[in-house]
Amino acid sequence: MTLPNNRRRDPGGASSEAILVWLAIVLVVVVVGGVYAAMHLGHRLASTGADLPGDPFTVLFGLLGGDLAWPGAAGWWVIAAGAALLVFSAIATGLVIHRIRGGRSRVDRAARYMGRGRDVQDLTRKHAQGTATRLGVSSSPGVPIGRTVARDEPLYGSWEDMHIDIWGPRTGKTTSRAVPAILEAPGSVLVTSNKRDVVDATRDVRAKAGPVWVFDPQSITLERPSWWWNPLSYVTDEVRAAKLADHFATGSRDPGAKTDAYFDPAGQDLLAGLLLAAALDHRPITDVYTWLTRPTDETAVDILQEHEYSLTADQVAGAVSAPEKQRGGVYGTAQQMASCLTNRQVARWVTPQGMADPRRQFRPEDFVRADGGTLYSLSKEGRGTAGPLVTALTVAVVEAAEELAATSRGGRLSTPLLGVLDEAANVCRWRDLPNLYSHYGSRGIVLMTILQSWSQGVEVWGESGMKKLWSASNVKVYGGGVSEAGFLEDLSRMIGDYDRLSSSTSHGRGQRTVSQQLHRERILDVADLAALPKGRAVVMASGSRPTLIRTQPWMSGPHAGDVEGSIAAHDPQAEPARSRRGGRDRSNRWSRGGVMSDWAEEDLEDDGIDAQAVEGDDDAGGAAQPALYYGSVDEFIREYLRHVYSRRIDGRSRVWAARWWEYDEAVIRLEALWRAWEHLRRDPAIGMSVWWRDHADYHMGVLMDPGGPFLAADASAEVNQSKKGAPLPYEQPPPCLFPDLRDGGPLHLN
pTM to 2 decimals?
Answer: 0.68
Average pLDDT, the chain: 86
- Alpha-carbon distance of 153 to 151, in angstroms, equals 5
pLDDT top residue among 592 and 410: 410
> Which stretch of 505-509, 604-608, 643-647 has the lowest confidence by average pLDDT?
604-608
Q: What percent of the chain has pLDDT over 90?
A: 60
CB atoms within 10 A of CB 287: 18
What element of type H or E holds 190? strand 189-193
> Poorest-confidence range of 192-196, 224-228, 584-588?
584-588
Beta carbons within 10 angstroms of residue 326's beta carbon:
13
- Contacts of 219 by beta carbon, 8 Å cutoff, 6+ apart: 345, 706, 707
Tell how far CA 628 is from the center of its chain: 50
Q: Are 480 and 534 in contact (CB under 8 A)?
A: yes
Task: Choose the weakest-confidence range: 14-28, 409-423, 580-594.
Answer: 580-594
> What local confidence, expressed as pLDDT, does residue 97 receive?
65
649-678 core/surface letters (b: 16 or more CB in 10 A; e: else)? bebeebbbbbbbbbbbbbbbbbbbbbbbbb
Angstrom CA distances, 652 to 485, 572, 698, stand at: 44, 18, 19
**Reported confidence tier of residue 400, pLDDT bands at 50, 70, 90:** very high
Per DSSP, what are the bridge partners of residue 420? 191, 448
Burial class (CB in 10 A: 0-12, 13-18, 19+), 357: middle
Query: Rounded CA gap, 715 and 355, in Å?
Result: 32
| Residue 381 pLDDT | 81
What pLDDT is attached to residue 12? 47
- Kindly report, residue by residue over 545-572, the tens digit of the pLDDT: 999 999 999 999 999 999 999 999 998 8
Return the pLDDT at 275: 96
pLDDT score for 355 = 73
91-116: pLDDT as tens digits:
888 777 666 655 677 899 899 999 98
Residue 616 Rama label (left phi>0; alpha psi -120 to 50; beta): left
Name the more confident of 297 and 17: 297
The model's confidence at residue 50, banded by pLDDT at 50, 70 and 90, is confident
pLDDT at 581: 37
Classify residue 696 by its DSSP letter.
Answer: I
> pLDDT value at position 604?
35
Could you give the CA distance from residue 99 to residue 97 in angstroms, rounded to a whole number? 5
Q: What does the pLDDT read at residue 744?
A: 57
Is residue 11 predicted with pLDDT exceeding 80? no
Residue whose C-alpha is closest to residue 169's, from 423, 429, 385: 423
As a three-state string, the secondary structure of 422-490 is ECHHHHCCCCCHHHHHHHHHCCCEEEEEEECCHHHHHHHHHHHHHHHHHHHCCEEEECCCCCCHHHHHH
Per-residue model confidence (pLDDT) at position 212? 95
Mean pLDDT of 41-60: 85
State whether residue 397 is helix, strand or coil: helix
Q: What is the 3-state secondary structure (H, E, C) of 607-633?
A: CCCCHHHHHCCCCCCCCCCCCCCCCCH
Q: How many DSSP H helices and E strands does the chain contain?
A: 30, 18
For residue 297, pLDDT over 50 is answered with yes
**Helical (H) or strand (E) element with 238:** helix 238-252
Q: What integer pLDDT is reported at residue 471 of this predicted model?
A: 95
Neighbour order of strands in the sheet with 212-215: 154-157, 143-148, 547-550, 536-541, 475-478, 163-166, 445-451, 417-422, 189-193, 374-378, 212-215
pLDDT digit string, tens, across residues 316-372: 999 999 999 999 999 999 999 999 998 888 999 999 987 778 889 999 999 999 889
pLDDT of residue 49: 79
- Rounded Cα distance between 159 and 418, Å, is 9
Assign 161 to helix, strand or coil: coil
DSSP 550-613: E---GGGSTTHHHHHHHHHHT-GGGHHHHHHHTTS-GGGSEETTTEEPHHHHHHHHHTT--HHH
Q: 310-314, 395-399, 511-515, 552-556: which has the minimum mean pLDDT?
A: 511-515
Give 411's pLDDT tier (boundaries 50, 70, 90). Answer: very high
Q: Which helix (H) or strand (E) holds 21?
A: helix 16-46
The pLDDT tens digits for 132-176 are 999 999 889 999 999 999 999 999 999 999 999 999 999 999 999
pLDDT reported for residue 587: 34
What does the pLDDT average to over 697-723?
A: 91
Contact 160, 136 (CB under 8 A): no
295 pLDDT more than 90: yes
Question: What would the mean pLDDT of 257-283 be, rounded to a whole number?
Answer: 90
Residue 457 burial (CB < 10 Å; 0-12/13-18/19+)? Answer: buried
Tally of CB atoms within 10 A around 551: 24
Q: Cβ(329)–Cβ(263) under 8 Å? A: yes
Q: What is the pLDDT of residue 743?
A: 67
Give CA–CA dist 187/413, Å, rounded. 10
pLDDT at 256 over 80: no
Beta strands at 360-361 and 227-228: parallel, antiparallel or unpaired? parallel
Beta carbons of 480 and 536 less than 8 angstroms apart: yes
Mean pLDDT of 64-86: 87
Q: pLDDT tens digits, residue range 618-663?
A: 443 444 456 788 999 999 999 999 999 989 998 888 999 999 999 9
* pLDDT value at 190 more than 50: yes
Question: Highest-confidence range of 191-200, 512-521, 675-684, by mean pLDDT?
Answer: 191-200
- Helices 664-680 and 697-704, axial angle in degrees (round to 10): 160
Confidence category of residue 612, pLDDT binned at 50, 70, 90 = very low
Contact 485/549 with Cβ under 8 angstroms?
A: no
Per-residue model confidence (pLDDT) at position 27 = 87
